[in-house]
Amino acid sequence: MTADIEIKHATTRDLESLRQLYLDAFPDEELYPLVTDLLGGTAPVLSLLAVTGGKPVGHVVFTHCSVEPGSVAVALLGPLCVMPGHQKGGIGSALVHAGLDHLKTTMAQVMVLGDPNYYGRFGFEPDHLVEPPCPIPVEWKSAWQSVRFDDDTAPVSGRLVVPGAWNDPALWSD
């Protein structure tokens, strides 16, 4: 299904089309305001859009962050969404792979709070060395994960420092 999918960089010009994508993909969550804050903010982000037939069908954001102490450059993956009807067709995987390929030369690792079964296929593993910016429920501890790009360097440890949009505790809990 991903053969006719184009992955391109999304910008603030894509925000209106992203609105419907996020409403359809997450009808019970308010993620679109986070996306608008991230794309319109001053913190660097990698925003990728999957398009087929001229319509957006998937989107992912990788926010540039750091781990303190030491200001180690890492990225935070999320949100990731795929339009219902296009899910389970490889679009989400294509977006994640494209983002990881783009970031592997500039970031030490990528963090995510997500389903270990899904993100494990990209090499993500539970991360107990980097503390999330806000408390997460105990039952989500295995969902806090990272993937390192260089196995020859020591694992990153400390506290994840995120731009303002990510400092909302509601994003990190039920």
Task: Kindly report, residue by residue over 77-111, the tens digit of the pLDDT.
Answer: 999 999 998 999 999 999 999 999 999 999 999 99
Using an 8 Å Cβ cutoff, are 163 and 75 in contact? no
pLDDT-derived band at 3 (thresholds 50, 70, 90) equals: low
pLDDT of residue 12: 86
Tell how far CA 86 is from the center of its chain. 19
Helix (H) or strand (E) holding 1: none
pLDDT of residue 1: 47
**DSSP bridge partners of 64:** 75
User: Nearest 5 degrees, angle CA 34-CA 39-CA 41?
Assistant: 90
pLDDT-derived band at 8 (thresholds 50, 70, 90) equals: very high
Compute CA distances 31 → 42, 73, 97, whole Å: 19, 24, 22
pLDDT of residue 153: 77
Q: Please give the Cα distance from 158 to 72 (Å, whole number).
A: 9
Residue 172 backbone phi and psi in degrees, to 5: -110, 10
Tokens of 6: 């184009």
List the alpha helices (DSSP H) in the chain: 15-25, 32-40, 91-103, 116-119
How many other CB atoms are found less than 10 A from the CB of residue 5? 18
Task: Kindly report, residue by residue over 27-83, the tens digit of the pLDDT.
Answer: 888 899 999 999 988 899 999 999 998 899 999 999 999 999 988 899 999 999 999
